């Protein structure tokens, strides 16, 4: 049986998303299964608050050669791996220079003070990039579940710093070595999983991760023989799939030990039926 393949497409309306998808895939309407993931909402008068419609088009992958690359998102592997600095976040902006980093440190200190958080800010030279490190007591809440508040802090600091220096810069922020440890864990996980995929030929789907975490995994396995990685699913349940490049290898139809939720990643794997998804794939914006 030829493998079933699915890809997601977005548009302002369901119709537009479908049209776009059919065009991108070079398929006719009758050749694909259309599943509406999200109907989308029109934006308000200010042009904000609207949501894109998302559809999943699945089809039998037959003799037609695969011309398009696997879908990547902004968090994925840079297009010119050698030229890019590794371990960047989901920002496509260049890292800050030293003097910009000093300014960013001031920005971060001010912000923490306004948040009434007592902590020191130091310039830190990480394993792969320079950044800022917040040091202090009880900073767990500031890191947040899975580091989500840390990412928020970094975004605000980056945005303010960018505004101040007049160009878009990316400021890496760590808190008590959290990110550093997490990245190390992810690299170890990636290597372990890659070993298993190589020996068994079966693809493994990792647990959902933040954009920067997925990037770490992609980068860790980039250029490694015998395996390839791609992200599937919709935020916040987007996951990395590590699959074997060996001929005849099994696709990511079965979950590895990493997560017992088959067909949950979206896009790949057995097509799930209609109806509610376990856990919901995308929370409503908290406005």
Partner 1 sequence: MIEHAARQLVDEPDGVVVTEETDGDFLKLHLRVAEGDVGKVIGRGGRIAKALRALLKVMATRDGSKVNLEID
Residues engaged in binding partner 1 (CB under 8 A): 46, 48, 107, 110-111, 114-116, 141-142, 144, 148-149, 151-153, 155-156, 159-160, 163-164, 285-287
- Measured from the CB atom, the residue of 148 and 207 that comes closer to partner 1 is 148
Whether residue 76 contacts residue 229, with contact meaning beta carbons closer than 8 Å, is answered with no
Shortest distance (Å) from residue 218 CB to partner 1: 21
Q: Which two tokens stand for residue 256?
A: 């590895």
- Work out how close the CB of 247 gets to partner 1 at its nearest, in angstroms, rounded to a whole number: 39
Q: Which of 146, 198, 152 is nearest to 173 (CA)?
A: 152
First to last CA, the chain: 46
Nearer to partner 1, 136 or 144 (CB): 144
Distance, CA of 96 to CA of 69 (rounded, Å): 31
Rounded to a whole number of angstroms, the minimum distance from the CB of residue 21 to partner 1 is 20
Q: Which residues contact 285 (CB under 8 A, 6 or more apart)?
A: 49, 51
Residue of 224, 201, 269, 257 whose CA lies nearest to 58: 269
- CB of 251: closest distance to partner 1 in angstroms? 31
- Cβ closer to partner 1: 28 or 287? 287
Nearer to partner 1, 223 or 285 (CB): 285
Q: φ, ψ for residue 20 (rounded to 5)?
A: -60, -45
CB of 115 to partner 1, least distance (A): 5
* For partner 1, the closer CB: 57 or 142: 142
């Amino acid at each position: 049986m030829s493998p079933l393949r699915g890809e997601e497409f977005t548009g302002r309306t369901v119709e537009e998303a479908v049209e776009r998808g059919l065009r991108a895939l070079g398929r006719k309407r009758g050749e694909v299964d259309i599943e509406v993931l999200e109907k989308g909402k029109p934006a308000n008068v200010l042009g904000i608050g609207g949501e894109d419609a998302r559809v999943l088009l699945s089809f039998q992958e037959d003799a037609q050669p695969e011309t398009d690359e696997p879908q990547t998102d902004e968090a994925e592997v840079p297009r010119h791996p050698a030229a890019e600095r590794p371990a960047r976040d989901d920002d496509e902006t260049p890292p800050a220079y030293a003097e910009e980093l000093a300014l960013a440190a001031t920005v971060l200190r001010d912000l923490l003070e306004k948040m009434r958080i007592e902590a020191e800010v130091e310039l830190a030279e990480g394993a792969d990039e320079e950044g800022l490190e917040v040091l202090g007591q009880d900073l767990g809440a500031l890191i947040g579940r899975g580091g989500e508040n840390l990412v928020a802090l970094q975004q605000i600091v980056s945005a303010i710093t960018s505004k101040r220096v007049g160009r878009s810069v990316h400021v890496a922020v760590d808190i008590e070595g959290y990110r550093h440890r997490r990245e190390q864990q992810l690299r170890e996980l990636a290597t372990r999983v890659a070993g298993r995929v190589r020996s068994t030929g079966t693809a493994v789907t990792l647990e959902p991760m933040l954009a920067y975490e997925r990037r770490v995994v992609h980068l860790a396995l980039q250029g490694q023989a015998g395996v390839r990685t791609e992200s599937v699913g919709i935020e916040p349940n987007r996951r990395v799939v590590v699959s074997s490049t060996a001929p005849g290898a099994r696709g990511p139809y079965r979950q590895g030990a990493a997560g017992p939720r088959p067909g949950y990643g979206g896009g790949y794997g057995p097509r799930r039926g209609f109806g509610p998804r376990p856990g919901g794939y995308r929370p409503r914006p908290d406005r």
